[in-house]
Amino acid sequence: MLRWVVLLVVFVIMDLYAFQAFKTVAKNNWLRILYWLITVLVIGNFVFHYYGFNRRDGFSHAHAYAFGFLVVILIPKMILLLGMFAEDIFRVPQAIYRYFSAGHTAKGDYFASRRQFISKMALGLAAIPLASIIYGIYRGKYNYKVLKYTLHFEDLPEAFDGYKLTQISDIHSGSFDNMDKIKYAVDLINEQKSDVILFTGDIVNNKTEELVPYKNVFNKLKAKDGLYSVLGNHDYGDYANWESDEAKHQNLEDLKTLQKEIGFNLLLNESKYLEKNGERIALVGVENWGAGGFKTAGDLKQAAASIKKEDFKILMSHDPSHWEKKVIQDDYHYHLTLSGHTHGMQFGIEIPGWFKWSPVKWRYKYWAGIYEEFGQYINVNRGFGYLAFPGRVGIWPEITVIELKKGVSNA
């Protein structure tokens, strides 16, 4: 209860500051009433859905949009708060000086009037995230981007020179609310005509039933050398309440079966050779291995037990912290690792080839795109779907296409 009281006090303080900026341009009383009406409705809706909320009871679309609408008003108001507070750094000392210099009996307001320029500038800055977040909820979450990379390896088998793979990750089917957009994305994946499609975990939020409506969409995925997948932390059902351990176990077994029916070959701490013209590369898949409290079912040694150290290896591991903590130090030398998990936090700023930033970088060293360490590469996919916040702002849903080339990189 106390935390809700604290949150409401924070919101009130923030809104009082934000409203000071808003009323400088909104002279009409009806607009001012509308400001407070929207604020009360959004905060009330959030409290209604989250008071007493337990993540294990399920996270519905209503929960997602209650959180999303809160973010829509919260971030712009934080900017307004900073703008107004920055002005008060000068106004308060001036007011104190005027009070004491004029004497206790002086009449009038000791605070200088707020400058319209400051308020309007703060409103202009706040309008940028406001528009971006609204766009992110309305269209950004389905704004699929195909990102293409070419990676060179001296020891790549000749037969695989020019081999193309498509990686998708973090489908989170329980979050979707537009079937047509998913059909479009599946068509976009197939248009890449890659040799193999690799999915790196989190196909659901919690339960197999979330994927059932999309079975006949994802089973349209096609690749000459097949479809392969691994499990992510959400696929185990660890974040849901179950009536029994047996029910939880059955959910996971049902998920494995459903992935097979879609066409995925699920790799559970095991490996598979991809063969071409008498040569082969090893595809290794581990169960989820995550740092910081996430499930650590992945067993790299077990997964690689049937392959050779000198094989060219592609590793599928959901969480990039596995690559950082275990994989790049392993003496088997995994040429390319494919991960996901971070979603790029679904929020950030990217100028392709120039600049990339998201708050998630404070949690994960490797959080989006291609990285190289000790002659080994990892691609951290930004995710196909979305979770919790029902949108994406600046970090768009990703379909990765990687072409393998034999030779020395020009980079």
Q: Find all residues with CB under 8 Å of 125, minimum gap 6, and list them.
A: 79, 83
The answer to whether position 11 is within a domain reads: yes
d(C-alpha 243, C-alpha 404), whole Å: 47
Residues 167 and 247 in one domain: yes
Last residue within a domain, chosen from 120, 138, 156? 138
Q: What is the pTM of this model?
A: 0.91
The answer to whether position 98 is within a domain reads: yes
Residues 133 and 149 in one domain: no
d(C-alpha 71, C-alpha 319), whole Å: 26
Residues 272 and 321 in one domain: yes
Residues 312 and 376 in one domain: yes
User: b/e per residue, 66-105, with b = 16+ CB within 10 A?
Assistant: bbbbbbbbbbbbebbbebbeebbeebeeeeeeeeeeeeee
Query: Would you say 407 and 193 are in contact if contact means Cβ atoms under 8 Å apart?
Result: no
Residues 149 and 122 in one domain: no
d(C-alpha 395, C-alpha 342), whole Å: 11
Distances (CA, A) of 10 to 2, 83, 113, 222, 272: 12, 16, 24, 51, 54
Residues 118 and 170 in one domain: no
Q: Which residues of the chain carry a pLDDT beneath 70?
A: 1, 89-92, 94-95, 97-100, 102-115, 409-411
Query: Would you say 316 and 286 are in contact if contact means Cβ atoms under 8 Å apart?
Result: yes
pLDDT in tens, 75-120: 999 998 888 777 776 666 766 766 667 655 555 565 555 667 777 8
Distances (CA, A) of 52 to 63, 182, 205: 12, 33, 20
Residues 260 and 274 in one domain: yes
The answer to whether position 323 is within a domain reads: yes
Give the CATH number, domain containing residue 218: 3.60.21.10
Residues 216 and 334 in one domain: yes
- Name the domain count of the chain: 2
pLDDT in tens, 300-319: 999 999 999 999 999 999 99
> pLDDT value at position 399?
98
d(C-alpha 348, C-alpha 393), whole Å: 6
Residues 300 and 169 in one domain: yes
Last residue within a domain, chosen from 83, 108, 138? 138
Give the helix, strand, coil percentages of the chain, each rounded to 5. Answer: 45, 20, 35
Computed on alpha carbons and rounded to an integer, the radius of gyration of the chain in Å comes to 26
Q: H or E element: which one contains 302?
A: helix 300-303
Range of the domain at 167: 144-406
> pLDDT value at position 111?
53
> pLDDT value at position 160?
98
Q: H or E element: which one contains 356?
A: strand 355-357
d(C-alpha 397, C-alpha 245), whole Å: 34
Task: Give the HSE-up count for residue 168: Cα atoms under 13 Å, Cβ half-sphere.
Answer: 28
Residues 187 and 118 in one domain: no
Last residue within a domain, chosen from 138, 167, 198? 138
Return phi, psi of residue 41, to 5°. -65, -45
Residues 123 and 148 in one domain: no
Q: How many of the other CB atoms lie within 10 Å of CB of 20? A: 18
CA-based nearest residue to 304, from 328, 334, 324, 326: 334
The answer to whether position 411 is within a domain reads: no
d(C-alpha 309, C-alpha 155), whole Å: 13
Return phi, psi of residue 149, to 5°. -135, 150
Return phi, psi of residue 351, to 5°. -120, 100
Token readout for 39 is: 């604020």
Residues 63 and 116 in one domain: yes
Per-position DSSP letters for 99-146, written without gaps between them: HHHH-TT--S--SPPPPHHHHHHHHHHHHHHHHHHHHHHHTGGG--EE
The answer to whether position 150 is within a domain reads: yes
Which residue in this structure is represented by tokens 């929020």? Answer: 347
> pLDDT value at position 113?
57
d(C-alpha 152, C-alpha 271), whole Å: 23
Token readout for 140 is: 């950004």
The answer to whether position 151 is within a domain reads: yes
User: b/e per residue, 133-165, with b = 16+ CB within 10 A?
Assistant: bbbbbeebbbebeebeeebbbeebbebbeebbb
d(C-alpha 57, C-alpha 272), whole Å: 38
Token readout for 49 is: 């859905």
